[in-house]
Amino acid sequence: MKSRVIVLGTALVACVAFTGNAFAQAKGAGKSSISIIKVPAPGPTTPSPKAAGSVSSKPVATVVGKPPTGGGSFAMKLAKDLSDPAKPGFADGNYVLEIESAGTPTGDVVNSPLAAAYFITLSIVGQKCTLHSLASVAPDAPSPTCGVGPNPACALPEGIGKCSATIYQVAGNQLAAAGLVANQPFGARFRIRTNPTPASCKTGDLFVEGLGFQPPSTTCRNGAVVGVGGVALGTTS
């Protein structure tokens, strides 16, 4: 059981890297921003210097008497799909954010035996994005169990149409349960995929090298990659 918890923490700690210094308590520390580049459809493309969005993060300390934060929050801004290749964006639909991490700060996120991927689902409705919470800490789940008896404390409700969340909303208390310490750095990268079957791809699903998918029935990697974090190449003239 202990090894499984450590491996789980390897995947979840990607969220720490993804949102900057997630455990930081000092005001202004650990802020970050990453551009989202739309993956073009097969065939000739129209060069565009425009990003399709961004992900920003900042540390947010937990306040006594209020829902836990996990130490940080992040927000996504996704451009609207205007059917113009020179102005990339995302259409209404269901998507999943795939965050891939190595087992050490310098580890290979592909070949490391502890490499892992953590999935966070989101939906765009009326060109407004909502990040979906981990069910075990969601107070707005169909049958919420958080905050009852030994169950974990409830997170903030989902920010409908805001496309932002705290670490605790998407990872619960599993970072602390995995024995991770404040300011522990891990490398990570992320992709945005379509989520054609939301019923079998939920926030909190993960993939671990050597163990496979958890749960085995998850379909979070079945969708096409439609965006990545980084920059896009341009023309020479």
Considering the domain boundaries, does residue 173 fall inside one? yes
Q: What digits encode the pLDDT tens for the residues 178-214?
A: 555 555 555 567 899 999 999 999 999 988 877 788 8
| C-alpha–C-alpha distance, residues 226 and 190, integer Å | 11
pLDDT band at 127 (very low <50, low <70, confident <90, very high): very high
Considering the domain boundaries, does residue 92 fall inside one? yes
The pLDDT value recorded for residue 186 is 55
Considering the domain boundaries, does residue 234 fall inside one? no
38 or 113: which leads in pLDDT: 38
DSSP state of 80: B
Max intra-chain CA distance, the chain? 64
Query: Is the dihedral angle over the CA atoms 1, 173, 17, 23 positive or is it negative?
Result: negative
Is pLDDT of 232 > 70?
Answer: yes
Considering the domain boundaries, does residue 191 fall inside one? yes
User: If you search the block for the tokens 């024995």, which residue do you land on?
Assistant: 179
Is pLDDT of 31 > 50?
Answer: yes
Helix/strand/coil for 39: coil
Q: What's the total number of domains in the chain?
A: 1
How close are the terminal C-alpha atoms of the chain, in Å? 57
Considering the domain boundaries, does residue 113 fall inside one? yes
Considering the domain boundaries, does residue 235 fall inside one? no
As a whole number, the mean pLDDT across the chain is: 79
Find, among 109, 79, 103, the residue nearest to 91 by Cα. Answer: 79
Considering the domain boundaries, does residue 155 fall inside one? yes
* pTM for the whole structure: 0.83
Which domain range does residue 110 map to?
A: 2-229
| C-alpha–C-alpha distance, residues 77 and 229, integer Å | 12
Considering the domain boundaries, does residue 25 fall inside one? yes
The pLDDT value recorded for residue 70 is 83
